[in-house]
Chain A
Amino acid sequence: DTGVSQDPRHKITKRGQNVTFRCDPISEHNRLYWYRQTLGQGPEFLTYFQNEAQLEKSRLLSDRFSAERPKGSFSTLEIQRTEQGDSAMYLCASSTGYQPQHFGDGTRLSIL
């Protein structure tokens, strides 16, 4: 069990640029989740995959956000035309069956 891996750990970009984050789940986990956490808040759900199928999306996920999990393994989260309000920690989690979600260390996004 190597844990959930996220890359990069920290991303600094200018407003209006596109960014992409990667998440590698625990290898046997078929479910993968993305959350966003702003300062002083708990994580907020963004979207969820079972294998390669995206089964649920939050209304927080505007049309500038897109997530994929093309082969049911790793996932990417892309934000287009970044805005100041996108500054946050983006957390990925994975699970199998109905077992608890295991979280990665997150990608901290800073918008200049």
Chain B
Amino acid sequence: AQSVTQPDIHITVSEGASLELRCNYSYGATPYLFWYVQSPGQGLQLLLKYFSGDTLVQGIKGFEAEFKRSQSSFNLRKPSVHWSDAAEYFCAVGAAGTASKLTFGTGTRLQVTL
């Protein structure tokens, strides 16, 4: 069964500082990997996805993530955080080559201090 672990429940960073959110997945074959962001009371917005190819993927709002198969990780990074980045971030895994369900982690809440 597929699973996702986000070890950090809550992270606080200063505006302008760099950010890395951790994600580890468990999946028996080649996964599709995603990062979504959720603001309070809202749905989820896709930040970026990894299907295949280049292991460093760029997303919206200046975010990037790196797929490391050997570590079963897909960490999200941003070089300089803005106050508007404060939100909940979810990593998700899906089965490659299909369009079925996503399995999400429990999320990391990001707080940005000015």
- Using a CB–CB cutoff of 8 Å, the interface residues on chain A facing chain B are 4, 6, 31, 33, 35, 40-45, 48, 50, 55-56, 58, 91, 93, 95, 97-98, 100-106, 108
Contact = CB atoms under 8 A, between A and B. Distances in A.
29 contacts: A33-B102, A40-B107, A42-B4, A42-B92, A42-B107, A43-B90, A43-B102, A43-B104, A45-B101, A45-B103, A48-B101, A55-B100, A56-B101, A58-B101, A91-B43, A91-B44, A95-B99, A97-B99, A98-B32, A98-B51, A98-B98, A98-B99, A100-B46, A101-B46, A101-B102, A103-B36, A104-B43, A105-B41, A105-B42
Contacts of B106: 40-42
Given A31-B99, A48-B100, A100-B49, A41 B107 contact: yes
Contacts of B102: 33, 35, 43, 45, 101
Nearest to A91: B43
Interface size of B as a range: 20 to 34
B31 interface: no
Nearest to B46: A100
Nearest to B95: A98
A42 B46 contact: no
A105 B41 CA distance: 7
B43 A44 contact: no
Contacts of A108: 41
Contacts of A42: 4, 90, 92, 104-107
B39 to A, nearest CB: 10
Contacts of B104: 42-44
A108 B41 CA distance: 9
Contacts of B4: 42
B45 interface: yes
Contacts of B44: 43, 91, 93, 103
Nearest to B45: A103
B104 to A, nearest CB: 3
A103 to B, nearest CB: 4
Interface string B77-114: 00000000000001010000111111111110000000
